[in-house]
Each structure stands twice: as structure tokens, then as C-alpha cells.
Amino acid sequence: MLLKSSDMSPDQLFSVCNSLALFSWIILIFFTFWKSRVQYLFSIVIILLALVYSWLIFSNISPEGFKNFNTLDGISRLFANKSLLLAGWIHYLAFDLLTGIFIVTNARKNDINHWLVVPALFFTFLLGPFGLLIYFLTRLVKTRTYLQDNF
């Protein structure tokens, strides 16, 4: 059953999604002994965040509102709605976590020690693309190749 607007405020949903993301990052970084953690994080957490995001978007934006995606001013108008701002934040949570999953799996494929990529994971958690850049630089140093065909 989908949440009704009276079931949970945007602030409560923000807290729940942030906590879920933080817990997931802890699992991704520190639970290296759990070999199927990536599958569970992707199959449960990423999909759950995607469902919440989709619900927020499609219950708070009119078809006319999608025209606002074309300009920065339009995006600013969309984010004036607290529920759509939350959807934007959940978008970041989901994609940053997906990027973290990529880093962990790609490092494993390239035989890069997990603890060497923890700084990249930390910065991906905080600053998204900057953490991915740190991972790519780490991978470049460790593998001596820039282009990879094993994503």
C-alpha cells in the first residue's frame, strides 16, 4: 500500500531515507565479510529508494510541471515544493549509493584492496562525483590503465 500524504511528513520520510542510506553505506564499507551485501543493497535499498522517489515525483508534479526540467529557474520552482525537494534528495541518495556499489564491485574486479577504496567511498557518500573521481584516480594508479572494459 502506498503512503498517503497524511501517513508521513516529508521531514519524517527524509529521516527514514537518510537513515536507510547511512545504514547501507555502513554495510557497504565495513561488512566486507558479507559477500552478497551488494546484491541485497541493490535489490532492496536502491529499489526501495527508487519507489519512494517515483511516488514523490508522480504524486506531486503535474504533467505540465515536467516542463520545468528545462531550465535552472524551472528546477528552482520545482524544488520550492518540499516533497519534490525531498525527491531530489532521494535521487542523490540512490545514485550515490549505486555509485558506491559500482566502486566496490569494480575494485574487486580489478583486484584493488577494499580498504584502498574506502576514502573514495567516504567522499562518494558525502560528495558523489568527487568520490568517484577519487576512485578512478586510485584505479589508475593501481592498474596503470585509464580505460576499462570491465564495468
Residues 22-42: pLDDT tens digits? 999 999 999 999 989 999 999
Question: How far apart (Å, rounded) are the C-alpha atoms in residues 107 and 117?
Answer: 8
Question: Considering only 47-56, 61-70, 77-86, 104-113, which range has the smallest mean pLDDT?
Answer: 61-70
Domain that holds residue 79: 10-143
Question: How far apart (Å, rounded) are the C-alpha atoms in residues 62 and 110?
Answer: 45
Question: Is residue 23 situated within a structural domain?
Answer: yes
* 8 A C-beta contact, residue 105 and residue 38: yes
* 8 A C-beta contact, residue 28 and residue 34: no
Question: Is residue 109 situated within a structural domain?
Answer: yes
- 7 DSSP 8-state letter: T
Question: Is residue 92 situated within a structural domain?
Answer: yes
Residue 1: the pLDDT is 38
Residue-wise pLDDT for 104-150, tens only, equals 999 999 999 999 999 999 999 999 999 999 999 999 999 987 776 65
Residue-wise pLDDT for 43-59, tens only, equals 999 999 999 999 999 99
Residue 150: the pLDDT is 57
Residue 8: the pLDDT is 86
Question: Is residue 115 situated within a structural domain?
Answer: yes
Residue scoring higher pLDDT (68 or 51): 51
Question: Residue range 8-30: average pLDDT?
Answer: 96
Coil, helix or strand at residue 93? helix
Question: How far apart (Å, rounded) are the C-alpha atoms in residues 9 and 56?
Answer: 12
Residue 69: the pLDDT is 86
* 8 A C-beta contact, residue 121 and residue 29: yes
Tally of domains within the chain: 1
What band does 7 get if pLDDT is binned at 50, 70 and 90?
Answer: confident
Give the alpha-carbon dihedral of 136, 123, 85, 27, to 10 degrees. 100
Say how far residue 33 (Cα) sits from the centre of its chain: 22
Question: Is residue 79 situated within a structural domain?
Answer: yes
Residue 3 has pLDDT above 60, yes or no: no
Question: Is residue 14 situated within a structural domain?
Answer: yes
Coil, helix or strand at residue 117? helix
Kindly state the cell numbers that stand for 137.
584516480
What band does 2 get if pLDDT is binned at 50, 70 and 90?
Answer: very low
Question: Is residue 151 situated within a structural domain?
Answer: no
Question: Is residue 5 situated within a structural domain?
Answer: no
